[in-house]
Chains A and B, each alone.
Chain A
Amino acid sequence: MHSTLVTNKPATDEQIMALLRAAPTFERGFRQLMAQYRERLYWHIRRLVLVHEDADDVLQNTFIKIYRGVLQFEGKSKLYTWLYRIATNEALTHLQSKARHASASLDDAASVAAGRLQADPWFDGDDLQVRLQAAIAQLPDKQRQVFNLRYYEEMPYEEMSALLDTSVGALKASFHHATKKIEAAFREAE
């Protein structure tokens, strides 16, 4: 039986884990977790895989992995940090699978996704947006994550440092480098 979930107020990570750790409330806790983090995880995944259909598939796989493994979460980091890493791994695995299917190199995995973007019915950006996504797709995996977190989610560097387990200085350097590369790619195209 799928019960109705009350989601009018966000729960803390501790409250969600308390529900998850008791057998009779596990499902309730998992639904609360999904309701709380689904959009944030979706957009993180979407900005990596770009196409909505792929993002939907990856997101569902992510939640299934979370369902199977959430009781192994020890609470040494924030819950979102753990969820984010699962989502990232699933998205990158998906990109690599698509690249292999398209006989492209693994380095071109994100570029393959960018190439499919214009055909995505859930993309209504203009040519500039397409070129931006193609330029972002050229970045190395970690740098692309840093760029997306800073540029689209406007995440503070301190929070990003905890999420990615990387120093603030290195993250700033990475973002600065990424922005310069992307702007250079735009100038070349003009």
Chain B
Amino acid sequence: MDNLDDELRDLAPLLRDLKRQGEGLRTPDGYFDDLEARVFGRLDAHEPQIFASPPAHQPYNLMGKVVAHVSWPVATRLVQRAMPLRRRIIPALTAIAAGLALITAAVWFFRSPAVMQQAPLLAQVTMSELSEHDIESYVLENVHEFEAAELASLPPVEVDDQVAPEEETVPKPPQHRSKRQQALDNLRPEDLDNMLDGLSDEDLEKLL
């Protein structure tokens, strides 16, 4: 009984005829074309902190500018490739930056004989003060100073995929359905009519 026309022919012929005449509801010309602009206008006016673009120096903005001008399938592939790539390279680059920072700190401290004995401790203090964001920013801003061969020789880093596996997008039917609802699924149209005769609006709403 999935054909609506057949269903209405048996159930409600008047409604079937009315449907063919249309519903009388219409929209202004071009309504959907400028809807997007109006929604973003409201977002701009009321939620600037959400809508503001990321600062120019952040590397993400470059990706944003690129994907804004390509088709969405390419944009999706860019994002899907860039994120795992970033997850693999950044830990390795972080290690390189940490090493460079350690060497730099050691060289600086070894210039002064008075602090030579404290150099390892200070280096450790310096290292512990470096946040992951600091290291990442340093590496990305100075990535040209790293030898390509050096980067290529890095062992692959196991990526802890934080993206949840694709969940079921098609909802499963309700697991626990009352016997009454199960019986309803097997009702024939004539049985439905008999059942509906004694059913109030309140009963029907409870059933739904």
- A contact residues vs B (CB 8 Å cutoff): 1-6, 9, 11, 13-15, 18-19, 22-25, 27-28, 31-32, 34-35, 38-39, 42-43, 46-47, 50, 52, 56, 59-60, 63-64, 67-68, 74-79, 81, 122-126, 128-129, 132, 140, 142-143, 146, 150-152, 154, 156-157, 161-162, 164-174, 176-177, 179-180, 182-183, 186
Contacts and interface: CB of A to CB of B under 8 A. Distances in A.
28 contacts: A5-B72, A14-B166, A19-B79, A25-B63, A25-B75, A32-B72, A39-B32, A52-B26, A60-B39, A64-B42, A68-B47, A74-B167, A75-B164, A77-B169, A123-B26, A125-B22, A128-B21, A129-B18, A129-B21, A132-B15, A143-B208, A150-B4, A151-B15, A152-B23, A162-B171, A172-B192, A173-B204, A174-B208
Interface stretch (B6-14, B100-108, B142-150): B6-14
Contacts of B69: 3-4
B2 interface: yes
B105 to A, nearest CB: 33
B24 A182 contact: no
B173 interface: yes
B175 to A, nearest CB: 12
A62 to B, nearest CB: 9
B160 interface: no
Interface string B30-63: 0110011111101100110010011000001101
B199 interface: yes
Given A11-B72, A81-B171, A126 B24 contact: yes
A156 B2 contact: yes
Contacts of A166: 208
B149 to A, nearest CB: 30
Given A122-B27, A129-B18, A176-B193, A165 B171 contact: yes
Contacts of A143: 201, 204-205, 208
A24 B54 CA distance: 8
The 3 A-B pairs at the shortest CB distance, nearest first, are namely A125-B24, A169-B184, A24-B64
B73 interface: yes
B121 interface: no
A11 B78 CA distance: 15
- Chain B interface size band reads 35 or more
A131 B95 CA distance: 73
B129 interface: no
Contacts of B73: 9, 11, 15
Given A79-B169, A126-B21, 7 more contacts: A38-B36, A64-B42, A125-B23, A129-B24, A150-B4, A176-B196, A177-B196
A167 B181 contact: yes
B111 interface: no
Given A75-B169, A177-B199, A24 B60 contact: yes
Contacts of B181: 167, 169-170
A173 B71 contact: no
Given A64-B39, A176-B192, A52 B75 contact: no
Contact of B166 (A75, A164, A177, A179): A75
Given A23-B54, A64-B43, A34 B35 contact: yes
A23 B24 contact: no
A140 B43 CA distance: 34
Contacts of A15: 72-73, 76
Contacts of A13: 169
A173 B207 contact: yes
B12 A179 contact: yes
B80 interface: yes
